[in-house]
Copies of this chain bind each other. A is one copy, B any other.
Amino acid sequence: MSLSIRNQLSGTVLTVTPGEVMATVRVRLTGGQEITAAVTREAVGELGIAAGSEVRTLVKSTEVALATGAVEGLSIRNRLPGTVRAVTAGGAMAGVKVAVAGGELTAAITKDAVEDLGLAPGAEVTALIKATEISLAAV
């Protein structure tokens, strides 16, 4: 199985909190960061996800936002500090590669955002990912 989903970081499940329809799954990545994924409760059941499960967290590039400077008071659960490695700009969108502990992320953001934030190789950023945007793969 090869996926178009650019962002795939491995980790171990810490906790699963089931709701009636959705469940939140907390994962410690191999890079040491903690990630929360909100997936359907059905998926958790079918994949047999529980504390201790090895998983891969999957995030589409279009779901990754970037912040420069301090991040606080934000509902977005997932914040991975990193360093910009490369920026590729198209007419409307741009792809930004960010090295994070344990791997690399790609963020597809608007070209305007790249310009406003002055993003260039070497910039320190925090990758932000809403919990509802994270999928899980059982490994």
Q: How far is the CB of A93 from chain B (nearest CB, A)?
A: 5
Q: Is A18 part of the contact surface with B, judged by Cβ < 8 Å?
A: yes
Cross-chain contact B40 with A95 (CB below 8 angstroms): yes
Total interface residues on A, using CB and 8 Å? 75
**Residues in chain B near residue A37, CB distance under 8 A:** 4, 75
Q: Is A28 part of the contact surface with B, judged by Cβ < 8 Å?
A: no
1/0 per residue, CB under 8 A from B, across A79-105: the answer is: 000000000111111110000000000
Cross-chain contact A73 with B94 (CB below 8 angstroms): no
8 Å CB contact of A132 from B69, B76, B132: B132
1/0 per residue, CB under 8 A from B, across A51-71: the answer is: 000001010111101111111
A residues neighboring B (CB under 8 Å) = 1-6, 17-24, 36-44, 46-47, 49, 56, 58, 60-63, 65-77, 88-95, 106-114, 116-117, 119, 128, 130-133, 135-139
Given contacts A2-B138, A17-B91, A47-B73, 12 further A-B contacts (CB under 8 A): A2-B137, A4-B137, A6-B40, A19-B111, A21-B22, A22-B108, A36-B42, A62-B133, A73-B138, A77-B112, A106-B112, A130-B133
